[in-house]
């Protein structure tokens, strides 16, 4: 193609960049409204971070597949050490602490573990000879890789992130081709274990959240407050919304966490169902892109990583939206590209950057000798 | 994926593609599920959530409607609303009850009585029902409480309106009073207006009967508030619609004058318009001050009213029943004429009448007496004789025709209608036969005959006008009443007899002739025995005879009819007729009447309000307000 645009610029993944940028600008506009029509304190930072992280993602996209393979275990090990450090610091200071202050920002190692676990599990399945896929050899290493970080995050306690880590690993294992009966069996076992987990595994505040989820109107001023106010915000928005800057639930502080976990409710109140559908369509395009990258990748590692990263972003979005709409208990999971928050955006953009890298380096088919 | 053979790389690619497609499908399914859920919340349940969002956003405070005024026949206010400041307590929000009440007591100079009432009402109140601390406050008191609000949770000072009765005790029985809605009343309707501070409903009298007309429609103050209760801005405020004023037939100046003129006596004055039946005055004294009832009356004041032997809580004009005594004689005369008795026929009065071995007393020795003379001098002997001749069963229908013993459709909750006895009545009530002695007693308005003062005034008005007037208290255009079924010359004859009572030499009421040029009053005195005949004077107050007087004026063209009853006033001529004279004088010459009243009041110790205040404080001293022990009164 004879183009006036220089090749390096023309080679950028413009389509996905545009989708991501559009969603983040939409997110920023919602945060702008949530702050009562101000860029401070959320919208401005949100956009700035997005563009910084987008640049980071484009840099990541230049890194070759071998680089990712090479750093997989060093990264996994480093994040694991950070998780232990957080745990020990928290134990010493006598409280639960999830982050380390590294000078310019507070780093949540558990967030970094989400992409790291996917890299690690994908790396393992890439190395596993296809003949062993139905054997125990295919099972215990990923379980080991998974249980350490998941356990550490769970005792922080951070159920949401812990589930996200488990979800990422399980999806990669599923795509890698572990026998279907194992998943069916594990699923059945989980259903059986839910009551036990509820009574012995959950903290009291978590139990209350589950009860509230089952009957949010039982205690509208107490535990059910978040969900009820969220439903009121979404419900009162109607099909066309109340209009930009005209939400009352968010502006009069009835909606708690309207700029973080419940940002969707803030959006839906002002933009209505139209805004909600537009947002879902945006996510649809992103996931379609991610899964297409996975299918088009010629390497097994690239396939598994791209699909796993996509599913991690999907997990964020799906759980958050279900929670906001009263279909899941309240767990602290933000909505990608919309919620205000550095760590989660960093994670999501790392995922995006790695998927871009895979798109850029589809590799060549190595056959069974890879 | 169970495969006996080793899996190849190509197969793994195939598995991946398939499972990747499956994952994409699951994601799409979630997308659809979330869209559906959102559509359900935002579209299907939109109305419900819109309402909830509005309920969050808008905080509504009801503004109690101003109560409709009572005005008199000339438009002069009888009950109005006064702008004032008030302080309430919201029981639910109080943190330290005794501390709060103690602080308020200091700030507002509350009396022991007030504190007692507040504590009692706090004990009875449901959590949501405000308890009034004080109303009718001046701005300084209001400001003193307002600045200390942060340390007084549960205290609510506000601006509002309270009911005001300019005439005070004079209209207590007529209008009743207003008060805070009781917990039971609120439970019935759950209308939030009822428990809005400052809102009161009629509790007695006309205030209660016309509650619906007077209440008006509440306004609402709408403000936008944040989740923390901070007011963001005021939204459109809907003002209250005051209740409609109610115009009464009362002439309030005359009514007040009559109430004051009753003075220290216990009694009632009723004045009726002879053209329409409108009740111009219905005074009953002593009374209570509806202003203090409407403010939430203190225990001591209520107890004082309850214990008073002159029964200030009883509306004597409607609920007081008295033997009418000789005031009935004009009515009996009409009956006699109607039954064919010749008015010229004379009876010799030797001071009494003998029936068997029983002597029925007359109050004098009147000698030869015809009908007109018998009315003038109130000769019992004449009426004993004639009554016995025709029998009381023939007189009773005329008594009823003239309004005695009848029920009237007046908007007062509690009325008593008295008795016009006859042989059927005594059979039913006491299972005995009517005796001649019963006839003699009934003929002179004693024995079983009982009437209330309104009925007496109505009887007088019907005799004066010759029409079947019905009493009315609410001003309205009404058709002219039908004529009475009695010959005009008979009525004229009786009216002439009544004229001579006041205006002819020897009449029982001559001392109460109107001090006016060209206007004369006709009347009839009555003295009703309370205990055995002839012991009317002296003795303890409660055994003295009642004094009664019925009258109308002017004689030649009757316009006003009145009845005055003075409980234990000893005699009609002595106690009741002078009151009637002054009240009727007031209608024609206010200055003259006021001058008389002022002279009297200076001897009595001031206006009714002044005397009540003094008596109440004397009572408080006598029982010792500081260490009073009061049981729970259902005030």
Determine contact, residues A293/B59, Cβ cutoff 8 Å: no
Nearest chain B Cα to A289, which residue?
B24
Q: What is the mean pLDDT of residues B600-613?
A: 86
At B628 the pLDDT is 38
Query: In this structure, what token pair is assigned to residue B379?
Result: 């000769």
Cα distances from B255 to residues A169, B276, B284, B586, B608, in angstroms, run 96, 17, 10, 10, 13
- What phi-psi label fits residue B325: left (phi over 0), alpha (psi between -120 and 50 degrees) or beta? left
3-state secondary structure of B279: strand
The predicted-structure confidence for B346-369, as pLDDT tens digits, reads as follows 999 998 899 888 889 888 899 999
Contact in structure between A124 and A142 (CB atoms under 8 Å): yes
Contacts of A34 (CB under 8 A, 6+ apart): A42, A250, A251, A258, A259, A263, A266
Q: Is B52 helix (H, G, I), strand (E, B) or coil?
A: helix
Name which of A72, A303, A318 is nearest A177 in CA terms. Answer: A303
Count chain A–chain B contacts defined by CB atoms under 8 A. 152
| Judgement on whether residues A245 and A350 belong to the same structural domain of the protein | yes
- Of A113, A133, A95, nearest to A308 by C-alpha is A113
Å between A91 CA and nearest CA of chain B: 36
In a domain, A195, yes or no: no
Q: Say if the Cβ atoms of A325 and B34 lie within 8 Å.
A: yes
Lowest mean pLDDT of A300-304, B26-30, B408-412, name the range: B408-412
Chain A CB contacts of B33 below 8 Å: 327
The string of pLDDT tens digits covering residues B25-45 is 999 999 999 999 999 999 999
Instruction: Please give the DSSP secondary-structure letter assigned to residue A291.
Output: H
Is residue B161's pLDDT more than 60?
yes
Q: Are residues A42 and A130 in the same domain?
A: no
Q: Are residues A224 and A356 in the same domain?
A: yes
Q: Is residue A354 part of a domain?
A: yes
Residue A116 sits in the same domain as residue A51 = no
Co-location of A229 and A354 in the same domain: yes
Query: Which structural domain, as residue segments, surrounds residue A350?
Result: 10-62+213-362
Residues of A in Cβ contact (< 8 Å) with B226: 252-254
Q: If we measure between CA atoms, which residue out of B615, B635, B572 comes closest to residue B169?
A: B615
Would you say residue B5 has pLDDT above 80? no
In a domain, A226, yes or no: yes
Query: Token pair of A241, please?
Result: 């919304």
Residue A8 has pLDDT above 60, yes or no: yes
At residue B531 the predicted structure's pLDDT band, cuts being 50, 70 and 90, is low
**Tell me, what's the pLDDT at B571?**
82
Q: What is the mean pLDDT of residues A22-27?
A: 96
User: Rounded to an integer, what distance in angstroms lies between the CA atom of residue B516 and that of residue B320?
Assistant: 32
User: Phi/psi at B218 (nearest 5 deg)?
Assistant: -70, 145
Residues of A in contact with B27 (CB under 8 A): 284, 287, 291, 314, 318
B27:A287 CB<8 A: yes
**Residue B538 pLDDT greater than 70, yes or no:** no
pLDDT digits (tens, 9 = 90+) for B425-469: 999 999 999 999 999 999 999 989 999 999 999 999 999 999 999
Structure-derived torsion over alpha carbons of residues B476, B480, B482, B488, reported in degrees to the nearest 10: 130
Chain A neighbours among B 226-265 (CB < 8 Å)? Answer: 226-228, 232
Q: Which of B41, B51, B56 to mutate to test the interface with A (most CBs of A within 10 A)?
A: B41
Asked if A147 and A326 touch (Cβ cutoff 8 Å), the reply is no
For B206-255, the DSSP string reads: HHHHTHHHHH-B-EEEEEEE-TT--EEEE-PPBPPBPPPPEEBS--HHHH
| Residue carrying structure tokens 């980071």 | A56
Q: pLDDT band for position B98 (50/70/90)?
A: confident
The DSSP annotation for B496-561 comes to HHHHHHHHSTT-TTGGG--SSSS---EEEEEEE-SSSTT--SSS-GGGSPEEEEEEEE-SSS--EE
- Residue closest to A33 by CA, chosen among A226, A231, A268, A337: A268
pLDDT-derived band at A11, boundaries 50, 70, 90: confident
Question: Do the domain assignments include residue A199?
Answer: no
Task: Name the residue among B1, B23, B53 with its Cβ closest to that of A311.
Answer: B23
> Is pLDDT at A370 greater than 60 in this prediction?
no
Supply the pLDDT for residue A368. Answer: 45
The answer to whether the beta carbons of residues B527 and B545 sit under 8 Å apart is: yes
Q: Is B7 on the interface with A (CB under 8 A)?
A: yes
* Tens of pLDDT, residues A82-117: 999 888 876 666 555 677 776 656 778 888 999 999
pLDDT at A94: 55
Tell me what pLDDT residue A105 has.
62
User: Which residues from A are below 8 Å from B12, CB to CB?
Assistant: 130, 133, 176-177, 300
Chain A residues near residue B31 by CB distance under 8 angstroms: 280, 283-284
Question: According to the model, what pLDDT value does residue B93 have?
Answer: 73
Chain A residues touching B1 at Cβ < 8 A? 134, 177-181
Q: Does A76 lie in the same domain as A46?
A: no
- Report the 10 Å Cβ neighbour count for B488: 10
Tell me what the mean pLDDT of segment B323-347 comes to: 92
- Can you tell me the mean pLDDT for A165-188? 92
Whole-number average pLDDT of chain A: 88
- Same domain membership, residue A84 and residue A49: no
Mean pLDDT of chain B: 86
Structural domain count of chain A: 2
For residue A321, the model assigns a pLDDT of: 95
Predicted local confidence at residue B63, as pLDDT: 82
Name the pairing type of β-strands B358-361 and B352-355: antiparallel
Percent of chain A with pLDDT over 70: 92
pLDDT band at B631 (very low <50, low <70, confident <90, very high): very low
Contact B53 A249 (CB under 8 A): yes
Is the confidence at residue A183, as pLDDT, over 50?
A: yes
In percent, the amount of chain B with pLDDT more than 70 equals 93
Question: What pLDDT shows up at residue A29?
Answer: 96
CA distance A150 to A161: 8
Are both A270 and A239 inside the same structural domain? yes
Kindly list the structural domains of chain B, giving each domain's residue range(s) and its CATH number in brackets, ordered by start: 59-247 (3.90.1310.10), 252-290+316-604 (3.40.710.10)
Q: Which of B1, B35, B52 sits opposite A177 (nearest CB)?
A: B1
Residue A124 falls within a domain, yes or no?
yes
CB contact under 8 A, B50 and A249: no
Instruction: For B58, name the nearest residue in chain A, comparing CA atoms only.
Output: A248
Residues A163 and A24 in one domain: no
Nearest chain A CA: its distance from B58 CA (Å): 10
pLDDT at A236 > cutoff 80: yes
Residue B445, both tokens: 């308005």
B536 pLDDT more than 60? no
Question: Which residues, numbered 53 to 82 in chain B, qualify as contacts with chain A under a Cβ-Cβ cut-off of 8 Å?
Answer: 53-54, 56-57
Residue B77 has pLDDT above 90, yes or no: yes
A268/B34 Cβ within 8 A: no
Contacts of A231 in chain B (CB under 8 A): 41, 49
Q: Give the pLDDT confidence of A170-180 residue by residue, as tens digits.
A: 999 999 999 98
Residues A26 and A77 in one domain: no
Q: Please, is B596 exposed, middle or buried when counting C-beta atoms within 10 Å of its C-beta (0-12, 13-18, 19+)?
A: middle
**Quick check: B50 and A235 CB within 8 A?**
yes
Angstrom distance (rounded) from CA B267 to CA B150: 52
Between chains, do A174 and B37 touch, taking CB under 8 Å as contact? no
Residues A57 and A81 in one domain: no
Least confident range from A95-109, A143-157, B480-494, B526-540: namely B526-540
Distance CA B629, CA B615 (A): 20
**SS3 assignment, position A4:** coil
Banded model confidence at residue B275, pLDDT cuts 50, 70, 90: very high
A323: its two tokens: 């929670």
Beta strand ranges found along B356-510 (DSSP E):
358-361, 367-369
Smallest CA-to-CA distance from B337 within B496, B500, B495, B491 is with B491
| Structural contact between residues A174 and B16, judged by C-beta atoms closer than 8 angstroms | no
Residue A330 in this model has a pLDDT that exceeds 90: no
Contact A177 B12 (CB under 8 A): yes
Contact B42 A367 (CB under 8 A): no
- Beta B219-225 vs B77-89: how paired, if at all? unpaired
Contact in structure between B503 and B510 (CB atoms under 8 Å): yes
Rounded distance between C-alpha atoms, residue A237 and residue A231, angstroms = 10
> Is A84 a member of any domain?
yes
What is the mean pLDDT of the segment spanning B406-413?
87
Estimate to the nearest angstrom the gap between the alpha carbon of B577 and the chain centroid.
Answer: 26
Beta carbons of A235 and B27 less than 8 Å apart: no
Quick one: A171 and A225 in the same domain?
A: no
Q: Are B64 and B130 in contact (CB under 8 A)?
A: no
Chain B nearest-CA distance from A280, in A, is 7
Q: Does B11 touch chain A (CB under 8 A)?
A: yes
Q: What is the pLDDT of residue B381?
A: 92
Distance of alpha carbon A261 from alpha carbon A244, whole angstroms: 20
Structure-token pair, residue B538 = 């002296």
B18 touches chain A (CB under 8 A): no
User: In the prediction, which pLDDT does B2 show?
Assistant: 47
Distance from CA of A70 to the nearest CA of B (A): 22
Q: Considering the domain boundaries, does residue A194 fall inside one? A: no
Domain boundary among A184, A202, A228: A184
**pLDDT of amino acid B91:** 77
CA distance A360 to A366: 17
Cross-chain residue pair A236–B53, CB shorter than 8 Å? yes
Residues of B in contact with A131 (CB under 8 A): 6-7
Per DSSP (E only), the strands in B64-109 are 70-71, 77-89
Residue of chain B whose alpha carbon sits nearest to that of A268: B42
- Give me the residue from B23, B30, B43 closest to A238, CB to CB: B43
d(CA A175, CA A125): 10
Provide, as residue numbers in chain A, all residues whose Cβ is less than 8 Å from the Cβ of B2. 134, 179, 181
Helix ranges (H only) for A128-262 are 140-154, 159-176, 180-196, 204-214, 225-237, 248-251
pLDDT over threshold 80, residue B256:
yes
pLDDT of residue A198: 82
Please enumerate in sequence order all residues whose Cβ is within 8 A of that of B300, keeping only pairs 6 or more positions apart, or say none: B113, B616, B619, B620, B623, B625, B628, B630
Residues of A in contact with B45 (CB under 8 A): 235
CA-nearest of A351, A348, A353, A316 to A332 is A316
Of B11, B52, B57, the CB nearest to A252: B57
Is B42 an interface residue toward A (CB < 8 Å)?
yes
**Phi, then psi, of A304 in degrees rounded to 5:** -65, -40
How far B19 CA sits from the closest chain A CA (Å)?
Answer: 6
Segment A33-58 mean pLDDT: 93
As a whole number, mean pLDDT of residues B111-118 equals 85
Whether A272 maps to a domain, the answer reads yes
| Residue of A126, A127, A235 to mutate, testing the B interface (most B Cβ within 10 Å of its Cβ) | A235
More confident residue, B339 or A88: B339
Contacts 24+ apart (CB under 8 A), B124-130: B124/B183, B125/B91, B125/B183, B126/B91, B126/B183, B126/B186, B127/B91, B127/B92, B128/B90, B128/B92, B128/B195, B129/B91, B129/B180, B129/B183, B129/B186, B129/B195, B130/B88, B130/B89, B130/B90, B130/B91, B130/B156, B130/B195, B130/B196, B130/B197
Structure tokens at B320: 């007081």
Reported as a single tens digit per residue, the pLDDT across A333-362 is: 899 999 998 888 999 999 999 999 999 998
Most confident of the ranges A81-90, A185-194, A235-244, A327-336? A235-244
* Residue A213 contacts residue A329 (beta carbons within 8 Å): yes
Indicate the pairing of strand B246-247 with strand B70-71. parallel
């Amino acid at each position: 193609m004879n183009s006036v645009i220089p090749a390096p610029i023309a080679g950028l993944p413009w389509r996905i960049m545009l989708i991501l940028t559009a969603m983040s600008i939409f997110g920023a506009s919602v945060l702008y409204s949530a702050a009562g029509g101000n860029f401070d304190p959320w919208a401005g930072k949100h956009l700035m971070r997005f563009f910084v992280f987008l640049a980071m993602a484009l840099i990541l996209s230049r890194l070759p597949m071998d680089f990712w393979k090479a750093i997989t275990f060093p990264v996994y090990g480093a994040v694991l050490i950070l998780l232990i450090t957080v745990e020990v610091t928290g134990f010493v200071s006598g409280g639960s602490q999830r982050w380390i202050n590294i000078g310019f920002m507070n780093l949540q190692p558990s967030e970094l573990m989400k992409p790291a676990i996917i890299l690690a599990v994908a790396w393992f399945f890439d190395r596993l000879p296809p003949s062993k896929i139905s054997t125990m050899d295919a099972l215990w290493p990923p379980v080991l890789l998974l249980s350490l970080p998941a356990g550490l995050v769970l005792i922080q306690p951070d159920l949401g992130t812990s589930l996200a880590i488990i979800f990422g690993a399980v999806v990669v294992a599923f795509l890698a081709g572990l026998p279907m009966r194992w998943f069916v069996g594990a699923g059945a076992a989980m259903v059986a274990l839910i009551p036990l987990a509820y009574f012995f595994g959950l903290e009291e505040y978590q139990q209350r959240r589950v009860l509230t989820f089952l009957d949010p109107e039982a205690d509208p001023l107490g535990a059910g407050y978040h969900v009820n106010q969220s439903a009121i915000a979404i419900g009162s928005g109607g099909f066309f919304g109340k209009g930009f800057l005209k939400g009352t639930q968010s502006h009069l502080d009835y909606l708690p966490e309207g700029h973080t976990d419940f940002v969707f409710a803030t959006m839906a109140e002002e933009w209505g169902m139209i805004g909600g559908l537009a947002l879902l369509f945006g996510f649809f395009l992103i996931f379609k892109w991610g899964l297409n990258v996975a299918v088009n990748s010629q390497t097994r590692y690239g396939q598994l990583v791209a699909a796993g990263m996509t599913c991690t972003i999907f997990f964020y979005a799906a759980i958050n939206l279900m929670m906001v709409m009263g279909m899941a208990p309240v767990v602290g999971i933000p909505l990608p590209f919309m919620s205000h928050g550095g760590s989660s955006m960093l994670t999501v953009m790392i995922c995006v950057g790695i998927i871009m890298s895979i798109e850029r380096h589809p590799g060549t088919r190595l056959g069974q000798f890879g | 994926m169970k495969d006996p053979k080793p899996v190849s790389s190509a197969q793994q690619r195939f598995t991946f593609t398939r499972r990747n497609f499956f994952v994409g499908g699951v994601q799409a399914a979630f997308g659809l599920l979330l869209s559906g859920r959102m559509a359900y919340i935002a579209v299907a349940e939109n109305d419900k959530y819109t309402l909830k969002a509005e309920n969050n956003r808008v905080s509504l405070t009801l503004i109690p409607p101003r109560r409709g005024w009572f005005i008199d026949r000339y438009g002069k206010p009888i009950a109005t609303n006064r702008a004032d400041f008030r302080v309430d307590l919201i029981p639910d929000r109080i943190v330290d009850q005794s501390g709060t009440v103690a602080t308020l007591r200091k700030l507002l100079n509350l009396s022991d009585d007030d504190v007692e009432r507040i504590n009692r009402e706090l004990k009875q109140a449901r959590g949501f029902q405000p308890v009034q601390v004080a109303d009718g406050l001046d701005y300084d008191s209001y400001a003193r409480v307002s600045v200390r609000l942060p340390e007084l949770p549960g205290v609510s000072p506000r601006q509002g309106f309270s009911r005001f009765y300019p005439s005070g005790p004079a209209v207590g029985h007529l209008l009743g009073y207003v008060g805070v809605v009781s917990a039971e009343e609120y439970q019935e309707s759950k209308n939030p207006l009822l428990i809005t501070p400052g809102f009161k409903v009629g509790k007695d009298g006309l205030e209660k009967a016309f509650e619906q007309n007077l209440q008006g429609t509440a306004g609402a103050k709408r403000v936008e508030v944040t989740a923390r209760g901070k007011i963001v801005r005021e939204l459109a405020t809907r003002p209250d619609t005051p209740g409609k004023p109610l115009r009464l037939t009362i002439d309030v100046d005359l009514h007040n004058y009559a109430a004051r003129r009753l003075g220290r006596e216990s009694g009632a004055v009723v004045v009726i318009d002879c053209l329409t039946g409108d009740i111009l005055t219905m005074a009953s004294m002593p009374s209570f001050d509806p202003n203090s009832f409407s403010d939430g009356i203190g225990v001591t004041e209520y107890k004082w009213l309850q214990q008073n032997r002159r029964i200030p809580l009883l509306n004597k004009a409607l609920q007081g029943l008295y033997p009418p005594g000789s005031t009935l004689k004009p009515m009996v005369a009409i009956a006699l004429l109607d039954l064919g008795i010749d008015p010229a026929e004379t009876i010799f009065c030797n001071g009494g009448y003998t029936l068997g071995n029983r002597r029925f007393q007359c109050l004098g020795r009147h000698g030869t007496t015809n009908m007109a003379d018998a009315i003038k001098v109130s000769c019992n002997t004449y009426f004993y004789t004639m009554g016995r001749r025709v029998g009381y069963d023939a007189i009773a229908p005329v008594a009823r025709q003239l309004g005695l013993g009848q029920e009237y459709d007046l908007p007062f909750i509690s009325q008593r209608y008295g008795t016009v006895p006859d042989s059927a009545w005594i059979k039913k009530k006491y299972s005995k036969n009517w005796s001649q002695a019963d006839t003699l007693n009934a003929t002179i308005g004693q024995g079983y005959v009982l009437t209330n003062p309104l009925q007496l005034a109505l009887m007088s008005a019907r005799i004066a006008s010759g029409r079947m007037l019905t009493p009315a208290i609410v001003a309205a255009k009404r058709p002219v009443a039908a004529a009475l079924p009695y010959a005009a010359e008979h009525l004229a004859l009786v009216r002439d007899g009544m004229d001579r009572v006041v205006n002819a030499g020897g009449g029982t009421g001559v001392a109460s002739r109107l001090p006016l040029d060209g206007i004369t009053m006709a009347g009839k005195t009555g003295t009703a025995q309370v205990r055995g005949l002839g012991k009317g004077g002296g003795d303890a107050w409660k055994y003295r005879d009642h004094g009664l007087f019925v009258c109308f004026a002017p004689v030649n063209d009757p316009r006003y009819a009145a009845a005055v009853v003075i409980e234990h006033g000893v005699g009609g001529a002595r106690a009741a007729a002078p009151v009637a004279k002054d009240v009727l004088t007031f209608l024609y010459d206010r200055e003259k009447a006021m001058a008389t009243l002022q002279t009297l009041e200076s001897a009595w110790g001031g206006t009714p309000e002044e005397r009540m205040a003094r008596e109440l404080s004397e009572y408080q001293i006598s029982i010792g307000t500081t260490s009073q022990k009061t049981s729970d009164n259902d005030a």
